[in-house]
Amino acid sequence: MMRPPCLPLLYIALILIAAVSCRPSVETPGPQYAATPVRLNVSTYRFAVYPLYNPTKLFQVYQPLIDYLNKNLGNAQFTLEASRDYAAFEDKYGKREPDFLLPNAWQTLQAIQSGYHVIATAGEPSDFKGIFIVRKDSTIKQPADLKGKAISYPSATAFAACIMPQYWLYQNHIDIKRDIENHYVGSQESSIMNVYLKLTAVGATWPPPWRAFQVDHPQQANELKVLWETESLINNSVMARDDVPTDVQERIQTLLAGLDKTQEGKAILAGMETARFILAKDKDYDVVQVYVSRFEKDVRKVNEP
């Protein structure tokens, strides 16, 4: 019969095992994970564009501009941000969330109050106007024919596609609160499609979305036409939040203003249905404040459809 080892030997073995198990382990280097990516001295800025198109279309149209800026900025990068509707976009700049904005003319006035400042205008003034879309077989010929009928708009705060058309109607003796039905349908494309689908008699929009609709939906566009248009006003703006470094703002201004000077830039502008970017400042939008004051006196409060 085999005898068990003596107790001292057992104690020595246990001490050796404990000593080995208590030694600090050596970890093999591997991938490192974090909640946010390492930026390596590159500042990232959010660029929010108002709901000119649905989010998918907006990314198709504006991502080439963001890619161009990122390629030429060096130590700063942009991410494009869409919003589900006008209210969501307006809530974002009210909370000062995006670093850069592309708002409409009325939203520009509101964003100034939240600490954003104009650095450029996105497009020619002559292109910023409201247009009224009808079916080609429409019996509407003059503003009086609208009485009792429905008109679609993207939003009550859409400047060229709602505020300006409604003021044009007022000037042509249509009381928008009594003579017609106003349908606020969420986007420029929806405003046009409502006419095609005969859900409304007239759809209000403005030239860039109408040109894009003709390209994207040629069959439907062939059954529609522009009936009337409003006067023109200063175009949409590009804005920077007041805490964005001045040198970054100036580099963005330079890149935007130079887009129409190169073939690559011209292609980007064509995709956005924008002729060029023009350097601008807050004071250039004083004309919008005058227009809004007149509109609110004669027609309705902008935020009260």
| E strand spans, 22-149 | 43-49, 76-81, 100-102, 116-122, 129-135
Q: How far is CA 280 from CA 12, 62, 93, 157, 194, in A?
A: 84, 20, 19, 22, 35
The answer to whether 213 touches 54, Cβ cutoff 8 Å, is no
Fold exhibited by the domain 43-126+235-298: D-Maltodextrin-Binding Protein; domain 2 (3.40.190)
Q: Which listed CATH number (3.90.1150.10, 3.40.50.1260, 3.40.190.10, 3.40.50.300) goes with 130-232? A: 3.40.190.10
- In this predicted structure, which of 33-37, 186-190, 295-299 has the lowest mean pLDDT? 33-37
- In this predicted structure, which of 5-14, 102-111, 169-178 has the lowest mean pLDDT? 5-14
Indicate if the pLDDT at residue 29 is higher than 90. Answer: no
**Which of 296, 267, 252 shows the shortest CA–CA distance to 102?**
252
Instruction: Quote the pTM value.
Output: 0.81
Residue 124's H or E segment, with its range, is: none
Q: Taken in order 73, 74, 76, 81, is the CA torsion positive or negative?
A: positive
Domain ranges of the chain: 43-126+235-298, 130-232
Here the tokens at position 94 are 């009210």
| Segment 228-273, tens digit of pLDDT | 999 999 999 999 999 999 999 999 999 999 999 999 999 999 999 9
DSSP state letter for 230: E
The rounded radius of gyration (Å) of the Cα atoms in the chain is 29
Fold match between 43-126+235-298 and 130-232?
A: yes
Per the model's pLDDT, the better-predicted residue between 139 and 29 turns out to be: 139
Q: In this predicted structure, what is the pLDDT of residue 75?
A: 83
| Segment 85-114, tens digit of pLDDT | 899 999 999 999 999 999 999 999 999 999
Alpha carbon dihedral 223, 226, 227, 232, in 10-degree steps, equals 170
Contacts of 185 (CB under 8 A, 6+ apart): 152, 153, 154, 191, 194
Q: Which residues pair with 144 in a beta bridge?
A: none
